[in-house]
Copies of this chain bind each other. A is one copy, B any other.
Amino acid sequence: MAIQSKTAFLEHFPLFETLNPDEKLRLTQMVEVKIKPRYSYIYLPGETSDKIFFLSKGTVKIGTHSKDGKEIIKSVLHPTAMFGEMGIVGEEERQDFARAMGQEVHYCVLKVEDFKRLMRSNHQLSIKILMLIGNRLRRAENRLESLIFKDARTRIIDFLKDAADQRGRRVGFEMLVKHSLTQQDIANLTGTSRQTVTSVLNELRKSNLIYFNRKSILIRDMESLV
């Protein structure tokens, strides 16, 4: 990929806004652009955490597997998100996997070492990264709370609300969330079983609080969904 288009590429990431032209040039020189087919793994547990990634197209899920094959999805990422950032904060070896969901993914890769050097030269960038990791931490702790304090049904409803808040499109009073998650995925995101997800969703549909098909969920009224 030509330097020029790489530059354009980087313009899309808010994280790099504060970089001066020189730093941007340096960044383009150390970045590598990649494309991978759907369902492919971008990294796997056990690999060295020496790279970070920036997603420009497609959807990526980050998660872990237990020994007996259960899965936790830690997050589902959309373009412009950074991932694999644990390498920046001292992780040696990946604990999680990153996997392309049902579409081809485009992303760029850079070495943690190079990125750290950039951080050293641009304090603003360091601060942004710190805030970003802080947000991750806040989200992880909230999830912990909801696992301990809330029952499965409530967690699934919370998931619906979060999804709508973060990625929903208003349609009148309703909220439409397009996604590429199976009900098993939703189960893995909420720490419940697939069957529980199915029955909660269907129950909500019967009560006319939501409508859904495989590709999207429509929340009829965010207020009444409790």
Contact = CB atoms under 8 A, between A and B. Distances in A.
Nearest to A87: B134
Interface in A82-137: 86, 88-91, 95, 120, 123, 126-127, 129-131, 133-137
B144 A72 contact: yes
A123 to B, nearest CB: 6
In the complex this chain forms, how many copies of it are found?
2
A62 to B, nearest CB: 10
Contacts of A145: 64, 66, 72
Contacts of A135: 89-90
Contact of A131 (B89, B136, B149): B89
Nearest to A146: B66
Please indicate which of the listed interface residues A91, A144, A191 has the most CB atoms of chain B within 10 Å of its own CB.
A144
Contact of A89 (B72, B86, B137): B137
A18 to B, nearest CB: 14
A6 interface: no
Given A144-B72, A147-B191, A134 B66 contact: no
A26 interface: no
A78 interface: no
A220 interface: no
A149 B145 CA distance: 16
A32 interface: no
Given A86-B134, A133-B137, A134-B133, A147 B144 contact: yes
A143 interface: yes
17 contacts: A70-B148, A72-B145, A72-B148, A72-B149, A74-B144, A86-B134, A89-B131, A89-B138, A90-B131, A90-B134, A137-B140, A140-B140, A143-B144, A144-B144, A144-B147, A147-B148, A147-B191
